[in-house]
Amino acid sequence: MAVIYPPLVEEGYQHCVAIGMQISKEAVFQYLYEQGIINAFGYPTEMALSNGLVAEFTEWENSSFDEFLALYPVFQAFDAEFFEQVDGFWQVKPKCLEKFFTTLEQQSLDNHSWMQLEAFFEQREMMNE
C-alpha cells in the first residue's frame, strides 16, 4: 500500500532531491512537522502562513481581473491584454506567452513572486489534465 503525502511534503521532497539530498518523504514530513510548518494532517500552520514560509493560493472561478491580481501580485507588471479568462480562470494568452516569459526573465523576482508563479502554473497544469 502506497502512502500519499500532502502537497507541502511532496514539494519539500522534490526540492531536496533537486539539490542532491538523499532523504525520504517520511523524513521530510517529520522535519516540517517538528518545525511547526505543517500540522499532523499536513496542512500549513498559522505560523508558517503568517511568516511567509508557505503561501496559500485559492483561485475562484469567474473572479475579476482585480481579484486575480490581488491573488497573484507578480502579474501587476503586465498589461491586462496579456490575459484572458478561459473556463472561468485567468490564463496568459497563447499569443503572448513568448513576450510574457521574456518579460519575466528580465525581472528580479523574490521568493514570494516565485511561489505565486509556481502556484499559478501548477493550477493550470491540474486543470488541463
| pLDDT tens column, 13-44 | 888 888 899 999 999 999 999 999 999 999 89
Query: Is 1 inside any structural domain?
Result: no
On the question of pLDDT at 128 being above 60, the answer is no
CA 56 vs CA 46, 89, 106: distances in Å: 11, 17, 26
Report the percent of the chain where pLDDT is more than 70.
96
What's the first-to-final CA gap in the chain, in angstroms? 25
Q: Is residue 43 part of a domain?
A: yes
Q: Is residue 46 part of a domain?
A: yes
Q: How many domains does the chain have?
A: 2
Let me know: does 48 contact 55? Beta carbons within 8 Å.
no
User: How buried is 38 (Cβ within 10 angstroms: 0-12 exposed, 13-18 middle, 19+ buried)?
Assistant: buried
pLDDT value of position 129: 47
Tell me the pLDDT of the chain averaged across its residues.
88
**2 within a domain of the structure (yes/no):** no
Instruction: Return the pLDDT at 102.
Output: 92
- 34: in domain: yes
Q: Residue range 58-67: average pLDDT? A: 91
Judge if 44 and 71 occupy the same domain.
no
Q: Which domain holds residue 115?
A: 65-127
